[in-house]
Amino acid sequence: MAQARVKDKLERDVLMEANIKIRVNRTDYLEKSGITLLNLVQKHQINHTSPILAAKVNNELRPLTDILTQNCEIEFIDRSYDDGLRIYVRSLTMMFIRACKELFPRCEVSVEHSLNKGLYCEIKDETSLSPSQVNRIETRMREIVASRELFERIEVDVEDAQSIMKSMGFGDKAELLKYRAEKTIPLYRFGWVTDCLYGYMVPDSGYLDIFELKFYLPGLILRYPTKQTPNKLPDFEDNPKLYSVFRESENWAHRVNVANVLQLNNKIETGGGQELIHISEALHEKQIAEIADKISLRRQQIHLILIAGPSASGKTTFAQRLKIHLMVNGLHPIPISMDNYYLDRDSIPIEEDGQRDLESISTIDIELLNEHLSRLIQGQQVEIPYFNFKKGMREYRGNIISINDQQPLIIEGIHGLNEQLTPMIPKMNKFKIYISALTQLNLDSHNRIPTTDTRLIRRIVRDKQFRGASIDDTLTMWSSVRRGEEKYIFPFQEMADVMFNSALTYEMAVLKPYIMPLLININTNDIHFTEANRLKKFMKYFVELDGVNIPATSIIKEFTGGSCFHYGH
């Protein structure tokens, strides 16, 4: 045994003395084997405008504490990267949870959802949260930042992890781990707290110096930098309508006892999955009917219904279902596609990067659109153009229409909420609807499922099913899609008359058999491996649900197929 230990030590010593070649930004460096990523940061930080938090080593995301023993290619990650920002927010969240538990030992911390460019959280205790308590939590967090306490990653057996989670008072996490296929799981130890937040952390608390807690009745918002502003907090923009929709969804989820993945899995495993489908679809039906009733009550005023929302929100299905409910109320809406009012492609200006921004509102012939809308509302005939995407130009094919007082126009498109789209139509004659998949279902009390991930999974499935696009194709264009949403949709969401949450409580369980084979087929050499691996990790926790009883009118059918509506994908 002693000889074996000596041999092992000699082999480690030889390994430590060897040089390895490291490539960073197409430049090769010789370093000692056994060097950590953290040791390399100082040399390469000059190329980054915000602190380096992690790295991709041979295309695989790794924490800065990793030891390098082989030749490799490295891409350093800071807060201006999606992965870097996730690491920052995840670490900040663990520090927040620890501070709350230190000040209020009996409290339960719940990380609910994104809001106002931060995380909306609630702290459930014997007393209601107050602004002074929020100030105390922030003060404690800043003390922890100053102490530069280490985040220590440990690998433990799942059974041991369950015991640790129970000892920490995180019972929901302990139960969820029974769905983990792997025998071990990484946890993080941070001072006296050990937690499972499904991803890497920063090396120590000193990295977490930019944040703010803002009291937001009945909880608070944990604010942090964004990709666009990695070195400062973004301006605070209140979204009360969005918060109201999230709140309503949260309350409903608790009423049906499906507020997290564990409860969803339990519902499916005990035979309640099909009933949950019926209840969720009934809720959508009721909400769409209520929106139709609001419009119908103002039928003498409303001539234009505008529907907008980010990609994969289910806008097309929603518009079709709204049309049916309006017809039940005696109205006969006429849809008009905003696509047909695109400017000829050659007329779209080229941006500084040499590309045409095809999502900009400037790509639409606003003058012609408003002239046609005005004439239609006044009872005149209009020939609606047709945009030939193959030729990149408008054509006229004899599509002449007119409307009466019982025929509101429905326009669905990215710029629907922006007043610049329809400046010639008085506000009292318009009804604006914002739609998005505002997921309230989280993995557990500390690990949320971002609404963006729900939409991304929907889009990957739809693109594969109907557009002949691979998962690589969808992931490649996703960053561009997200930039367009941040620029052209989200700033106008609070201008909506109503918001509709298209998320379905059961949908991840139904989408799992569609998405998992696509995620599994992404190999480590693929540029999108890190993102696919991230999605795969949290999708593993869902129990699959057979979607045989999902109605053909469901929004989810827009993505999986089997809808009774025609989309022209």
Average confidence (pLDDT) per 10 residues, the chain, 569 residues: 51 63 94 95 94 97 96 97 97 98 95 95 89 97 98 97 96 95 96 96 98 97 96 96 95 93 97 97 98 97 96 95 97 93 85 76 94 96 94 94 94 94 96 94 94 96 93 94 93 97 97 97 93 95 96 97 80
Q: How many CB atoms sit inside 10 A of residue 17's CB?
A: 10
Tokens at 478, concatenated: 């996703």
Q: How far is CA 13 from CA 32, 69, 497, in A?
A: 11, 12, 69
| Alpha carbons 529 and 525: distance in angstroms, whole number | 7
Q: What is residue 293's three-state secondary structure? A: helix
| Domains of the chain listed by start with CATH number | 15-78 (3.10.20.30), 83-238 (3.30.980.10), 242-333+408-560 (no CATH), 337-406 (no CATH)
pLDDT at position 351, please?
A: 72
Residue with tokens 């693109």: 463
Cβ(221)–Cβ(116) under 8 Å?
A: yes
482: Cβ–Cβ under 8 A, 6 or more apart, which residues?
452
| Alpha carbons 189 and 208: distance in angstroms, whole number | 16
| Alpha carbons 381 and 491: distance in angstroms, whole number | 35
| Alpha carbons 265 and 267: distance in angstroms, whole number | 5
pTM of the model as a whole: 0.92
DSSP letters of 527-558? Answer: TTHHHHHHHHHHHTTSPP---TTS-TT-TTHH
CA angle 303, 304, 305 (to 5 degrees): 130
Cβ(500)–Cβ(287) under 8 Å?
A: yes
| Alpha carbons 351 and 204: distance in angstroms, whole number | 41
Cβ(266)–Cβ(256) under 8 Å?
A: no
